[in-house]
């Protein structure tokens, strides 16, 4: 028998699971997440191996979903000094790189940027030829001064030639310095894509340390034959080499791991997933087996970015959410007793009315001592429950894309507070092992590749453009470590460009496949 280990770092707990080659759960463990993140991961790894007692030589894959990258950006620590080369002059001069960045983050990545001639139009024509002489000068100037480079060229999602050539020229002088290319990171929207690319470049060292630390920990535990992967935020995996090139794609992999895990546990390819924690709940969508992506700009550490992020709605409702009555009105939250629920909630002998107490009072959940909520007025409990239900229903409505009722998979420790009868939901699924859905999501993940480009349909048919995008997405998935024979197209979307004749269309395609 061969095995996989999946580890997921959450805000409160770090979970680890061991599954066999048939994807059956063998063992699971939860340990508190540590401030440095790494020691919690090592502890979870150690304990799940101890508990399961499987032969460590039979562990073939090890997957890690971690918050290292997010923490580094939020704390402005361990970031590489990064040079930004923006190709697009004379366009783009009106707004300088890093213009809308918080001062302390600019300081953390350094304020090295260059604007040079080049870049393309929306239909692929050149704005100007790439200024290669200028690039050579920049390379010499940068030698020894920065640890990482971000290259961004105007409309590189349409034509990436200038970014590729610029990397070649810089590497001739600077050798093996990490270089992030914007067309591989984000989509249309120069400032947001540039921001994402700079953050990616600045995170290269964080990814390297994280991956090496995980590999060493595995070796220490005697796991020497496993292939190691990091989780990305679309619910798929990337090899260590790939992760070091695209570390930003690890941001928000936790919720997507939950969504993937929920889909796996429920056997549903299309469903909504509600992950109820102690303080908040996340709701996401699984479409054709993958978490749906957000289509709007997302802020990371105070910076607007447009790289791929999961489409999630968070609501301030969890098992520990505080319920109050004020002037005859019932109020739900927004505060919560959080992890102190086992001391403060009524059912555990505490003095605070929580969402969990309401559910127990109404006989909908069995937790703690139900005698202890006997004095909670039934009418109050019912009113509170109706409000909680409304919050869940509204969030469900917001995330749905069609009127049709869809199944809802409930995961997370707080999910007892949600009823089985919800408007807009065809069926509520409560899978076994719902508490470690996230680590399972990491363990069972596939690998993927995607493209997001603008095509001009005056020169090619829509079919030809879609075909081209699909092939590029498949090639990306294979590059990321997918078995070519198993790669499938899982998502296709095309959106026309407004206010322009000439039929330009933006196409997004995602492909995924099994681990090789």
Partner 1 sequence: MTKIDVQMVEDIAVGAALLGTGGGGDPYVGKLMAIQALKKNGPVELIDVEQVPDDAWVVPAAMMGAPTVLVEKIPSGKEIFKAFDSLQNYLGKEIYAVIPIEAGGLNSMIPITVAAERKLPLVDVDGMGRAFPELQMVTFHLYGVSATPMVLADEKGNSLLLNTINNFWTENLARNATVVMGGSVMIAIYPMKGKDLKQSGIRNIITYSAKIGQAIREARKNGDDPIEALLKATGGYTLFKGKISDVQRRTTGGFVRGEAHIDGIDQYKGETMAIDFQNENLIARRNGRVVATVPDLICTVDAHTAAPITTEGLRYGQRVFILGIPCDKKWRSEKGIATVGPRYFGYDVDYVPIEELIKG
Which of residues 11 and 502 has its CB atom nearest to partner 1 in the complex? Answer: 502
Which class for 125: exposed (0-12), middle (13-18), buried (19 or more C-beta within 10 A)? exposed
Which class for 262: exposed (0-12), middle (13-18), buried (19 or more C-beta within 10 A)? buried
Site for partner 1 in 131-160 (CB under 8 A): 154-155
Please report whether residue 493 would count as binding partner 1 according to CB under 8 A: no
Number of residues that bind partner 1 (CB under 8 A): 43
CA quadruple 305, 309, 311, 313: dihedral sign: negative
CB of 172 to partner 1, least distance (A): 28
Please report whether residue 502 would count as binding partner 1 according to CB under 8 A: yes
Please report whether residue 417 would count as binding partner 1 according to CB under 8 A: no
Of residues 11, 32, 90, 222, which one binds partner 1 by CB under 8 A? 90
Q: Which residues of 460-493 are buried (b: 16+ CB within 10 A; e: fewer)?
A: eeeeebbebbbebbbebbbebbbeeeebbbbbee
Of residues 20, 121, 205, 514, which one binds partner 1 by CB under 8 A? 121
What is the DSSP code (8-state) at residue 316?
Answer: S
Of residues 5, 45, 108, 127, which one binds partner 1 by CB under 8 A? 127
Of the candidate spans 94-102, 129-137, 161-169, 211-219, the one that interacts with partner 1 by CB under 8 A turns out to be: 94-102
Nearest Cα neighbor of 33 from 316, 440, 439, 445 is 439
CB of 100 to partner 1, least distance (A): 6
Which of residues 93 and 369 has its CB atom nearest to partner 1 in the complex? Answer: 93
Which of residues 77 and 125 has its CB atom nearest to partner 1 in the complex? Answer: 125
CA angle 474, 485, 492 (to 5 degrees): 35
Nearest Cα neighbor of 348 from 323, 373, 378 is 373
Please report whether residue 287 would count as binding partner 1 according to CB under 8 A: no
User: In the Cβ-directed half-sphere of 249, how many Cα atoms lie within 13 Å?
Assistant: 28
Please report whether residue 100 would count as binding partner 1 according to CB under 8 A: yes
CB of 293 to partner 1, least distance (A): 13
Which of residues 154 and 185 has its CB atom nearest to partner 1 in the complex? Answer: 154
Widest CA span of the chain, in angstroms? 80
Site for partner 1 in 356-415 (CB under 8 A): 394, 397-403
CB of 235 to partner 1, least distance (A): 21
Of the candidate spans 45-53, 121-129, 434-442, 474-482, the one that interacts with partner 1 by CB under 8 A turns out to be: 121-129
Measured in degrees and rounded to the nearest 5, phi and psi for residue 250 equal: -85, -10
What is the DSSP code (8-state) at residue 457?
Answer: T
User: In the Cβ-directed half-sphere of 218, how many Cα atoms lie within 13 Å?
Assistant: 26
CB atoms within 10 A of CB 402: 6
Which of residues 375 and 499 has its CB atom nearest to partner 1 in the complex? Answer: 499
DSSP letter for each residue of 91-122: TTTTS-TTTTS-HHHHHHH--EEEEEE--B-T
Site track for partner 1 across 177-216, x = CB under 8 A: -----------xxxx-------------------------
> Which residues of the shown chain bind partner 1 in the complex (CB under 8 A)?
88-95, 99-100, 119, 121-123, 125, 127-128, 154-155, 188-191, 296, 304, 394, 397-403, 496-504, 506
């Amino acid at each position: 028998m061969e095995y996989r280990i999946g580890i997921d770092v959450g805000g409160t707990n770090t979970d680890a699971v061991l599954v066999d080659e048939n994807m059956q759960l063998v063992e699971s463990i939860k340990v508190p997440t540590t401030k440095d993140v790494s020691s919690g991961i090592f502890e979870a790894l150690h304990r799940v191996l101890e508990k399961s007692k499987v032969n460590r030589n039979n562990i073939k894959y090890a997957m890690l979903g971690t918050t290292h990258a997010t923490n580094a950006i939020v704390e402005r620590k361990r970031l590489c000094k990064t040079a930004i080369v923006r190709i697009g002059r004379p366009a783009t001069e009106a707004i300088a790189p890093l213009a809308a960045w918080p001062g302390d983050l600019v300081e953390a990545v350094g304020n090295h940027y260059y604007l040079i001639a080049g870049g393309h139009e929306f239909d692929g024509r050149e704005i100007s030829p790439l200024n290669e002489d200028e690039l050579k000068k920049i390379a010499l100037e940068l030698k020894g001064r920065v640890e990482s480079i971000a290259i961004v060229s105007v409309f590189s999602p349409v034509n990436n030639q200038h970014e590729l050539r610029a990397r070649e020229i810089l590497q001739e002088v600077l050798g093996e310095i990490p270089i992030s290319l914007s067309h591989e990171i984000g989509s249309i929207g120069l400032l947001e894509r540039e921001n994402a690319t700079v953050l990616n470049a600045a995170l290269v060292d964080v990814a390297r340390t994280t991956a090496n630390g995980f590999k060493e920990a595995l070796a220490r535990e005697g796991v020497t034959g496993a292939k190691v992967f990091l989780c990305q935020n679309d619910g798929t995996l990337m090899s260590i080499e790939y992760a070091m090139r695209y570390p930003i794609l690890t941001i928000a992999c936790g919720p997507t791991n939950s969504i993937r895990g929920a889909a796996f546990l429920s056997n549903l390819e299309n469903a909504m997933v509600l992950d109820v924690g102690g303080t908040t709940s996340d709701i996401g969508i699984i479409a054709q087996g993958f978490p749906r992506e957000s289509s709007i700009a997302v802020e990371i550490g105070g910076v607007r970015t447009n790289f791929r992020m999961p489409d999630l709605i968070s609501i301030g409702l969890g098992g520990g959410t505080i319920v109050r009555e004020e002037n005859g009105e019932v109020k739900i939250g927004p505060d919560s007793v959080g992890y102190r629920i086992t001391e403060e909630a009524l059912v555990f002998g505490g003095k605070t009315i929580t969402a969990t107490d309401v559910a127990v009072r109404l006989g909908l959940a069995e937790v703690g001592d139900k005698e202890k909520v006997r004095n909670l007025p039934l009418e109050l409990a019912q009113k509170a429950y109706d409000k909680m239900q409304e919050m869940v229903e509204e969030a469900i409505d917001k995330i749905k894309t069609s009127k049709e009722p869809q199944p809802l998979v409930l995961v997370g420790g707080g999910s007892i507070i949600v009823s089985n009868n919800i408007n807009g939901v065809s069926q509520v699924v409560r899978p076994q092992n719902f508490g470690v859905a996230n680590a399972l999501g990491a363990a069972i993940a596939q690998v993927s590749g995607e493209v997001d480009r603008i095509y001009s349909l005056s020169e090619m048919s829509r079919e030809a453009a879609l075909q081209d995008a699909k092939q590029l997405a498949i090639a990306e998935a294979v590059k990321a470590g997918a078995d070519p024979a198993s790669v499938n197209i899982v998502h296709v979307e095309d959106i026309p460009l407004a206010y322009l004749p000439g039929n330009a269309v933006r196409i997004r395609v995602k492909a995924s496949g099994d681990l090789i």
